[in-house]
Structure 1
Amino acid sequence: MNEVFSRGPSLFSRLLIVLGLSIASMLIDTKVQSFETARTYLNSLVSPLQYIANLPGAMLNWSSQNLTSRQQLLEDNQRLTSEITLLQEQLQRFDILKLENDNLRRLLDAPIREGMHRMITELMAVDTNPYSHQIVVNKGAIDGVFLGQSVLDESGIVGQVSEVSTTNSRVLLISDVTHAIPVRVKRNNARFIANGDGNINRIQLQHVAHSADIQEGDILVSSGLGKVFPEGYPVAKITSIIRDESRPFAQVVAEPIAKLDRLKYLLLLWPADLAPEGAIAPNASELSE
């Protein structure tokens, strides 16, 4: 059967032809200066093929770099998110510490009568009985606390110590129905007795004559009578006066100056002759340990 296509030169013959052409091209390129232009054109024609041949490798390199960069971004994002969360938590604690530090500074800056020593104490618990306004603080007999001792915040009188344990004490607030404190009007020194009425934001003056010289807005301070509370500390501000002639006495309501519903740090007061070793003297500014 005849072959449809005639066979061409043998492989060896083809190799010789290619070698001959290659040698001729190199000789021409070496000897003929004008062949440089042709070589430039030939290189230009071959360049697209080179780019196409390099394209798969370039795409693999780009993909590898892109995936690595994305993974790095995800890791960096996770790390930064964790760091931000930790920093926010620290910032919250710093805000609380700053607030507590400000409160302590206000306590130490509170005016103390001559000869009175003080010690900072912290609120431990609040009495859950709605009819009893009492709190527990973290100073007790080992710190020199005694029955009837005056307790203040940075604004005014809070109450007095009613029970003393070894390491803590119970304080009866001035708003408790069983508490009474001698007071005087700062404006004119008129003297009265202020009783708690079971409302944390209110106390009442007892047996106030209709003709008494008192006004809304008058400041009540401790009178020093009874020798329980030192004289001259803020107690309350008169907010309401009702003079009903059908009643034997005027009804006078005052608002405690101390923040009884927001207590945190408090001051315990001692006379100089009873002050324990850890108490701060009136002219000292450092915190006691």
Structure 2
Amino acid sequence: MPIRDEQLQLFPRGPGAGARLLIYVLISIAVIVADTRFKVLGGVRSALSTLLYPMQEAVQTPLNVYDKVSGFFVNHAELQRDNAMLRQRNLDYAGAVLRYRDLEQENTRLRTLLHAHLRTPLHTSLAEIISVPRDPYSRRIIVDRGSQDGVRAGQPVMDEIGLLGQVTRVYPYTSEITLLTDAGQPVPVQIQRNGLRAIAFGVGTDNVIDVRYLPQGADIRKGDLLVTSGIGDVYPAGLPVATVANVEHSANRAFLRVECIPEAAINSYRQVLIVNDIPAVKPVRQVPGGKKK
């Protein structure tokens, strides 16, 4: 018997190590091809994943506990800082609201003395953006309000910061809004600082609009705020539109080149406000005797 064992050790039967490796590689390739083409190992992977899940959870438990404990202290400190900042901001806003109310009352008194028409508050309806057309040459959005909700073509659209654009197409349950950054979209504006009227146009680029046809000597500066002028009965007067970012003077051109940044968060929010009606401005008529009526 010992002689036979020695013979087996000296002359081993069966394939060698290289042959076995080649066989294992071929089997692995066959299994991979079969799984790729026919998904034969999907159940096996699911079963292994189910069996290994408790082990994974056990391994991850210490790390999860450490993350939660460390995150608690970090979040607590951040919440304290955020709370202090929000409290200060709330005080600032409260002061601004008090000043705004005082100015509003003073404006009402002055308009009453001048027998001028009082501006009525805007009536708006909330709409949510549901899609953005994938057209690189247009700046439009689709909202979830249509003719069934009373939306009409031509209505202005805004957010809580400023003007966004205008309703251009209305369907039964959706509407298309053309943003003020769309190429060639005009908006009658005026400079809040001095009342100079102009026309702002979109250029087809996000966050940029131009003011055109202003002569070289026009009084417009970097940082000026542009608001809607109310001319044309399309947009209500006084809505923030854009801030002047750059003014270029050139002797070779008849007009200034003015680039502005829109005030509204055009690409940030999912909700917009559709202005339902625009207050009609009654002209102040002169009557004999110099009195206004």
- Same fold, TM exceeding 0.5? yes
Match of 1:217 in 2: 223
Q: Which residues in structure 2 correspond to 1:10-89 (within 5 Å)?
A: none
Is contact 1:237–1:255 with CA below 8 Å preserved after alignment?
Answer: yes
Matched, 1:145 2:157: no
Q: In the alignment, which residue of structure 1 is the partner of 2:167?
A: 161
Aligned to 2:250: 244
Distance 2:278 2:250 in 1: 46
Which residue of structure 2 lines up, in the alignment, with residue 40 of structure 1?
Answer: none
SS of 1:142 mapped into structure 2: helix
* Matched residue, 1:264: 270
Write the distance in 2 (CA, Å) between the matches of 1:253 and 1:127: 26
User: Is residue 226 of structure 1 aligned with residue 232 of structure 2?
Assistant: yes
Contact 2:236/2:279, CA 8 A, preserved across alignment: no
| DSSP-derived class of the 2:232 partner | helix
Cα distance in 2 between the residues matched to 1:263 and 1:136: 13
Q: C-alpha distance in 2, partners of 1:247/1:178?
A: 20
Please identify the structure whose Cα radius of gyration is greater: 1
Deviation at 1:114, TM superposition (A): 2.0
Q: In the alignment, does 2:120 pair up with 1:117?
A: no
TM-score (norm 1): 0.56
Amino acid at match of 2:155: Q
In structure 2, how many angstroms separate the alpha carbons of the residues matched to 1:215 and 1:134?
30
Secondary structure at 1:200 match in 2: coil
What SS class does the counterpart of residue 226 from structure 1 fall into?
coil
Shift of 1:179: 0.6
1:176 matched to 2:182? The reply is: yes
AA matched with 1:237? T
Does residue 1:188 correspond to 2:202, yes or no?
no
For the 8 Å contact 2:227–2:237, the answer to whether it is kept is: yes
Maintained 8 Å contact 2:128/2:143: yes
Give the C-alpha shift of residue 198 in structure 1: 0.9
Give the aligned partner of residue 33 of structure 1.
Answer: none
Offset, 1:193: 0.2
Structure 2, gaps ≥5 residues long: 1-57, 69-96, 102-118, 281-293
- Using structure 2 for the length normalisation, give the TM-score: 0.55
SS of structure 1 residue aligned to 2:213: strand
- Contact between 1:187 and 1:219, CA under 8 Å: does it hold in 2? yes
* Deviation of the 1:116 alpha carbon: 2.0
- CA RMSD of the aligned region, Å? 2.8
User: Do the aligned partners of 1:115 and 1:271 also contact (CA within 8 Å) in 2?
Assistant: no
Shift of 1:273: 8.4
Q: Is the 8 A contact 2:233 2:278 kept in 1?
A: no
One-letter code aligned to 1:156: G
Task: Summarize deviations over 1:232-257 as a string: whole Å, max 9, x none.
Answer: 00000000000101111010010001
1:159-209 Cα offsets, whole Å, 9 max, x none, are 000000001100000000131000000000000000000111100011011
Q: Give the aligned partner of residue 135 of structure 1.
A: 141
Aligned pairs, number: 173
Shift of 1:272: 7.1
Secondary structure at 1:254 match in 2: strand
Q: How far, CA to CA, are the matches of 2:166 and 2:213 in structure 1?
A: 23
Unaligned 5+ segments in structure 1 are 1-73, 85-108, 275-289
Which gives a bigger RCO, structure 1 or 2 (Cα 8 Å, sep 6+)?
Answer: 1
